[in-house]
């Protein structure tokens, strides 16, 4: 286990202010209850030079019978979208949102899974930017497209069948949702309540403090100490979005190799054989 330097993963608002002309900034604000809210917030004011990426149009693919509510877009399509904004594999990128990494971490994970290595998250998000004296802009920046790089598929993902196999091979599943949803006490989004049998609950909100700043690597390790050692980790949530916040925590804590179940609970509960296992 080698600790990932926070400087390779996170950037402070003051540092971003000093480097604003050197990086491409991506605004990932979104609301699961109001899909247009993030774009409207961006239009009302964003970090100067930031481009906007929409969770459902840019960071997700078409929804089908299976695959979950926010399936990953085709890797080539995502690479082409980034190239439209002037981003290739060497371009330094900073992503932010206003909800404790909930949506920016999805972008961070997707880029890392396609070997875009110079991508960081703004620690504390938009609130930290404002607290550090950063101003907002309403202008949409001019994009300078670059050649689309050739990419493979996303590394570190599992589909439903692979998750079933991983469970049989003693992998530990990590459910990133709120405890009431994990416990099956409520389910505001998906048609079925509950969790994948054997999963441990590690709510994604615990990755950051009340100011939205990521906990220190040591604090992340203490939070993750409930996970059994020396077992493969498979992380999921409702639709593969906030699970990426727990993958961020694992990265900061120095745990490498955890995999994402992109379809997550919304995919799992779409299969009758899985529902029979719950009964």
pLDDT at 1: 41
pLDDT at 182: 98
By CB atoms closer than 10 A (0-12, 13-18, 19+), residue 139 is exposed
| Separation of first and last alpha carbons in the chain | 38
Q: Tell me how many domains the chain contains.
A: 2
pLDDT at 171: 97
The answer to whether position 143 is within a domain reads: no
pLDDT at 218: 96
Q: Which domain holds residue 81?
A: 6-131
Give the CATH number of the domain where residue 217 resides. Answer: 3.40.250.10
The answer to whether position 48 is within a domain reads: yes
pLDDT at 7: 81
* Catalytic status, residue 244: no
Are 186 and 126 in a shared domain? Answer: no
pLDDT at 5: 62
pLDDT at 136: 98
Are 81 and 186 in a shared domain? Answer: no
In the chain, which residues have pLDDT < 50? 1-4
Are 231 and 177 in a shared domain? Answer: yes
pLDDT at 183: 97
Map residue 80 onto helix, strand or coil: helix
Are 166 and 116 in a shared domain? Answer: no
pLDDT at 144: 94
Which one of the listed residues 28, 237, 244, 269 is annotated catalytic? 237
Are 115 and 52 in a shared domain? Answer: yes
Q: What are the residue ranges of helices labelled H in the chain?
A: 13-19, 37-44, 75-84, 104-113, 125-131, 160-168, 179-182, 217-224, 243-253, 264-268, 272-278
Are 175 and 252 in a shared domain? Answer: yes
Are 178 and 273 in a shared domain? Answer: yes
| Cα–Cα nearest to 261, from 176, 191, 179 | 176
Are 211 and 272 in a shared domain? Answer: yes
pLDDT at 163: 98
Are 92 and 34 in a shared domain? Answer: yes
Are 12 and 117 in a shared domain? Answer: yes
The answer to whether position 117 is within a domain reads: yes
Residue with tokens 């300078």, as numbered in its chain: 144
The answer to whether position 14 is within a domain reads: yes
Are 195 and 82 in a shared domain? Answer: no
pLDDT at 275: 87
The answer to whether position 223 is within a domain reads: yes
The pTM is what?
Answer: 0.96
């Amino acid at each position: 286990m080698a600790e990932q330097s926070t400087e390779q993963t996170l950037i402070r608002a003051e540092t971003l202010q000093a480097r604003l002309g050197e990086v491409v900034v991506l605004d990932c604000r979104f609301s699961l209850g109001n899909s247009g809210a993030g774009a409207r917030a961006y239009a009302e004011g964003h970090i100067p030079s930031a481009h906007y990426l929409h969770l459902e149009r840019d960071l997700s693919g078409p929804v089908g019978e299976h695959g979950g509510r926010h399936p990953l877009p085709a890797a080539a399509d995502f690479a082409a979208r980034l190239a439209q904004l002037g981003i290739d594999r060497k371009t330094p990128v900073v992503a932010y949102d206003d909800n404790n990494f909930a949506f920016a971490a999805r972008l961070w994970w997707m880029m890392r899974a396609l070997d875009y290595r110079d991508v960081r998250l703004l620690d504390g998000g938009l609130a930290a930017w404002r607290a550090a004296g950063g101003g907002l802009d309403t202008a949409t920046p001019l994009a300078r497209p670059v050649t689309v790089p050739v990419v493979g598929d996303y590394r570190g993902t599992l589909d439903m069948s692979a998750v079933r196999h991983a469970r049989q091979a003693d992998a530990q599943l990590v459910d990133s949702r709120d405890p009431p949803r994990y416990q099956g006490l409520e389910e505001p989004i998906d048609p079925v309540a509950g969790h994948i049998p054997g999963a441990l609950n590690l709510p994604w909100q615990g990755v950051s403090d009340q100011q939205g700043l990521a906990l220190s690597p040591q604090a992340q390790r203490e939070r993750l100490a409930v996970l059994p050692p020396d077992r493969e980790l498979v992380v999921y949530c409702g639709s593969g979005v906030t699970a990426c916040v727990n993958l961020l925590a694992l990265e900061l804590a120095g745990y490498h190799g955890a995999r994402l179940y992109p379809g997550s609970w919304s995919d799992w509960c779409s299969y009758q054989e899985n529902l029979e296992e719950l009964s």
